[in-house]
Amino acid sequence: MFNKFTTILILIACFSQISKAQSYQNQILSSSIETVMCHKEGWPLSYPMINLNTDERIELSFDDLAKDSKNYYYSVIHCNRDWEPSNISEQEYLVGINQNPILDYQFSFNTTVNYVHYNLKIPNEDISLNYSGNYIIKVYEDFNSDEPVLIQKFMVVEQRVQIDAEIRYAMNSAVLREQQDINFTIRYNNFNISNPLDEVKVSVFQNHRMDNAIYDIKPQFIKPQELVYNYNREIVFEGGNEFRWLDLRTYDFKVEGIYDIQFHEPFYHLDLKPSSPRNNKSYFFQNDFNGRYVIETRENRDPDTEAEYVMVHFYFPKTEPYPGGDIFILGGLTNWKLNNNSKMKYNPDFKRYEKTLLLKQGFYNYLYAFKPNQLDKATVGFIEGSYSQTENDYLFLVYYRNISDHYDRLIGAAQKNSVKP
């Protein structure tokens, strides 16, 4: 176990050097806000990204566990590729007034816990966007924009380049069975790029994770109308394993994975069966959402306003706590964050890690991740196992900024699956 653990730490340290901290992050800053979802309209499992000058819209929704509605407002801020506010004015990047109320809300119906469901779509009749790039939505109460209750990131793309990507088994034999190696080419036949090394920056994301993303990748070869990124070890990701699943669509009976269901006012409490490591097992393919979730119920109720909030209790037995780091529940259910909300606590009396999450009824994916104390990046292979044949989604973002530009344009985006064509 020590050798395996040491190998994983070395790999993480090697690749963490190319990760980059960002200024704005997805944040929930109010204890009453739950189930924040941001995606392309009508596609809950999509990345929060739309194409410029199209009918596509970003949809943001969230619940406030309060009996009464609140006067929520929103503003949109354009950011550079590092998610810092860009050096362009509101009058340049948007049309409309950049402080508008969220008027689309509904009260929960026939639920044990009251909440208000809010929904916002951008662009709308109050605001439209002129530029491509990174944006955030800031939601706040009344007109107090300095104290937001949540911040959510999204992207607007002007597709000016073509991205051809290939996900392969890692070439390094020591990690051949555990890693996925990324090669890709950017073709820009109808777009002028005079200085690619300085003007073009590429970011690659695995699923929706931010902790292991790779930023500011530069081309290895520059050809006429082509930028080639054909590295051996610089763009490598831990393959990981297929996500575990959690079905919360009913609390009337115990589905697979649920050990016990009890009601303690005002919440239903669902105890999950104890989890076990998968790092010593053979790879087994199963369909999943790659860490995302959908809000649904089995009773044909409106999930936005009639789904219940339930307390879900996770258990991971371990004779002794893992040294040198912590265990986190990783996925959309914890907003892909490695923080106190996702960190499991070791209970020496029961010899297990424990965590309780308040979740809305739905179907969820998650993994257990180990984060060494000295790093910001986690490994899932330490507990879940890591396999090069694992099915993962990869997102490629191409940013462009020449010497005369005042902001970073997002000139290309592509999603590539490691298994599916």
The tens digit of pLDDT for each residue in 38-66 reads 999 999 999 999 999 999 999 999 999 99
Percent of the chain past pLDDT 70, that is, above it, reads 94
Helix, strand and coil percent figures for the chain, each rounded to 5 = 10, 45, 50
- Which option is the CATH number for 27-157: 1.10.3470, 2.60.40, 3.30.420, 3.40.720? 2.60.40
**Nearest partner of 207 among 49, 366, 43, 393, judged by Cα:** 393
b/e for 143-163, b at 16 or more Cβ within 10 A? eebeebbbbbbbbbbbbbbbb
Q: 235 to each of 22, 44, 411, how far by Cα in Å?
A: 19, 28, 21
Domain ranges of the chain: 27-157, 159-239, 244-384
Q: To which H or E segment does residue 270 belong? A: strand 267-272
* Segment 247-275 mean pLDDT: 95
Token pair 């009824």 is at which residue? Answer: 361
Q: 70 to each of 65, 73, 105, 276, 304, how far by Cα in Å?
A: 11, 9, 10, 43, 18
pLDDT at 2: 42
The tens digit of pLDDT for each residue in 93-119 reads 999 999 999 999 999 999 999 999 999
Q: 202 to each of 188, 345, 359, 399, how far by Cα in Å?
A: 14, 37, 35, 6
- pTM of the model as a whole: 0.91
b/e for 54-70, b at 16 or more Cβ within 10 A? eebebbbbbbbbeeeeb
